[in-house]
Amino acid sequence: MSSVRQFKQWSPVIGNRVFIDASAVVLGNVTLSDDVSVWPQVSIRGDMHSISIGSRTSVQDNSVLHITHAGPFNADGWPLVIGSDVTIGHSVTLHGCHIGSRVLIGMGAIVMDGAIVGDEVVIAAGALVTPRKKLESGFLYAGSPAKQIRPLSSNELEFFTYSANNYVRLKDEYIDHYGSGHA
């Protein structure tokens, strides 16, 4: 079975020069914009709502991306929306939340249902962003539950596009090696 799978009436929409590792699963109502990279063992499951991932975003090994379904406790549910130039570290869980652009999400972090993460935010490794929490642009957040720690430096702000571009280069090497955007 392919890594990219239709579910019901939804088929993933894949942009230009996207890399999806053969061990990853991209299923259902999912849109991957240009230059997205999806690394080994990632699960992106848009089976009961939509998932949208912006350009130059990297989803690293063992991450789980899912939605919040519509039901009696949340009439509309929550899609998962991820901006551009986002680096999602290893073993991250994103569930029915909104992630802005130029964001770094550290290894093992969890962002829960209805949370809104502004642009240019760093979420530290292991942080827990609780349901419906709003993270203001331009800050580092850490802890469980995640708390605003300090403003980001100009060097940290420049790192977002560096990191995104670095993963675009690496994913291009994988595409060149495997001869396809879907290894």
- 48/91 Cα distance (integer angstroms): 22
pLDDT band at 2 (very low <50, low <70, confident <90, very high): confident
Three-state SS sequence of 88-147: ECCCCEEECCEECCCEEECCCCEECCCCEECCCEEECCCCEECCCCEECCCEEEECCCCE
Residue 181 pLDDT greater than 80, yes or no:
no
Per-residue pLDDT tens over the stretch 96-108: 999 999 999 999 9
More confidently predicted of 177 and 183: 177
Q: Are 147 and 130 in contact (CB under 8 A)?
A: no
Domains of the chain listed by start with CATH number: 4-178 (2.160.10.10)
Q: Are 25 and 45 in contact (CB under 8 A)?
A: yes
Position 183 scores a pLDDT of 47
Which amino acid makes up residue 101? S
Q: Which two tokens stand for residue 39?
A: 């690394």
Per-residue pLDDT tens over the stretch 112-161: 999 999 999 999 999 999 999 999 999 999 999 999 999 999 999 999 99
**Between the CA atoms of 169, 175, 177 and 183, what dihedral angle is there, to the nearest 10 degrees?**
130
Per-residue pLDDT tens over the stretch 46-103: 999 999 999 999 999 999 999 999 999 999 999 999 999 999 999 999 999 999 999 9
| Cis amide linkage into residue 151, ω under 30° from 0 | no
Per-residue pLDDT tens over the stretch 14-49: 999 999 999 999 999 999 999 999 999 999 999 999
Q: Which residues contact 66 (CB under 8 A, 6 or more apart)?
A: 43, 45, 51, 80, 93, 94, 95, 96
- 54/52 Cα distance (integer angstroms): 7
pLDDT band at 178 (very low <50, low <70, confident <90, very high): confident
pLDDT band at 180 (very low <50, low <70, confident <90, very high): low
